[in-house]
Amino acid sequence: MPDDDALPFAERLLALLDATRYSATYKLATLLALIDVAAERVAPDGSAPEMLSGKEIGRRVIELYWPQTVPYGSVIGGQPKVLAQAPQMDIPSKLAVWRTDHHLSWGASLEDARAVDPFGWAKPEADLLAIVIGMPLAKLQRFGDGHRSVEERFIYDFSWREEVGHSTVARPDFDDSLRLRPGVGSWLVRLAPLIRPLVQSKWAARVADRNSDLVDTERLDEFLFGAQRISLHRVRGPLTESQGGDCFYCAGRMGNRGAVDHFLPWSRHPDNSIDNLVAAHAACNNAKSASLPGLDHLGRWMERFRPAQPTTFSTSWLHLPAGHADQTGSCRVPAPHTCGYRRAPGCGDTHRYTSHCSQPRIHALFASVA
C-alpha cells in the first residue's frame, strides 16, 4: 500500500480499539510494545522495519508491566495493593509474586529482577512470553469479541495458532516472526504520538473499572505511564563504557551485570537525565537505595562534567522512540529518524551524545535535595 495510506491505517487501528471490549489490558500493552519496538528497529538510514520478533514484543510487554507491580496507594481505606488488570491472575500479578519472593524494593528495575536470580528468571519469563505470543499477539487484530469476532491481519501476519502452548513457543525452531504489512513499520513510528495517548487512556480506564476502590484516578495515569516508569537499561552499556567498566561506587569491575542508578535518588529529585545516571553493581545500587551519596562519590560525579571533559559515548546501537525523550531531561531535541536524544555536531553516522551538566547546576541540585 502506498505511503498515503497512513491515515486510513490509523483510522483502521482506532476502529480496532473501539470495536473490542477488553477484559484485560494485554492487547493495549501489546500495541504499545509494537510501537516501541518498531521505533527501535528503525535503521540508521531511517528505513522502517519489515519484520519484528514476537518474543521481543513479549519482553517489551513485561517491561511495560513491571513498574505496575508495586502497590498503588490511593485506595479506600489507605491499604496499598497491586492493581488487578485481568479476571484471572494476570501478568502484573505474576511479576509481583517474583518481586515479593525475591524481596525486591519498590524502586527495583526489571534488570534488578533478572539479576537477582538469572537462572530462576528464565522460567517465568518463558511462561509470560508464551502468554503474550499465544494470546494478545495472536488475537490483537480481531474486531469484536467472542465467536462473532472477525480477524483482519492488517498490521502483521504470523505463522502460529492462537493460544499456542508454552512448550511450542520454547522450541528452538519456533518461528516468532511478525511480518509487518507494507508500510506498517513506518506508520507505527509516525503515528505513535496519535496512537499512544489513546491506548494509554483506554488502559487507564480499564484499570480504573477493574479496581473500583480507586479514589485518585487522576494520579493513576501518572502511576501507569509516568516518566519514572521508563526502563533505563538501554543506557547501561554506554554508561559502563564511559566509566571504564568499573562500578561508580566501589570501583570494582562490573562485567555484564551492572545496574543503572539515579545518583541523586529519584524519590528526592525525579530526574532521568544522563547527568543523573551512573552504572553500578546491583549490590552497591541496593545498598545506596534512596540515600544521598557520600562526599567522595559527589566529587567523582562532579569530575565527570568538567567543561574540558564532556561525557560522550557511542550509541550507534540505540534507537529509542521520540516519546522516550524524557529519559534525558537535558537532551530534548530529536535526532533525525531514530531517537529522542540530541545528536552532537559532527558525529556522522555513529550517534554520539554529550552530557551538558555544569558544576553550578550540580551544586544547586545537590543542595536542593539534601
Whole-number Å distance between alpha carbons of 46 and 212: 45
Supply the pLDDT for residue 230. 57
pLDDT band per the 50, 70, 90 thresholds, residue 271? low
Supply the pLDDT for residue 78. 61
Please say if the pLDDT value at position 143 is more than 70.
Answer: yes
Rounded to a whole number of angstroms, the CA Rg of the chain reads 21
Supply the pLDDT for residue 291. 77
pLDDT band per the 50, 70, 90 thresholds, residue 119? very high
Q: Structure pTM?
A: 0.63
Report whether 182 contacts 6 (CB < 8 A).
no
Supply the pLDDT for residue 127. 94
353-367 core/surface letters (b: 16 or more CB in 10 A; e: else): bbbbbeeeebeebbe
Report whether 302 contacts 359 (CB < 8 A).
yes
Look-up of cell digits 490511593 = 74
pLDDT band per the 50, 70, 90 thresholds, residue 282? confident
Q: Are strands 258-262 and 277-281 parallel, antiparallel or unpaired?
A: antiparallel
Side-chain half-sphere of 322: how many Cα atoms within 13 Å? 15
Please say if the pLDDT value at position 35 is more than 70.
Answer: yes
Q: End-to-end alpha-carbon separation of the chain, Å? A: 57
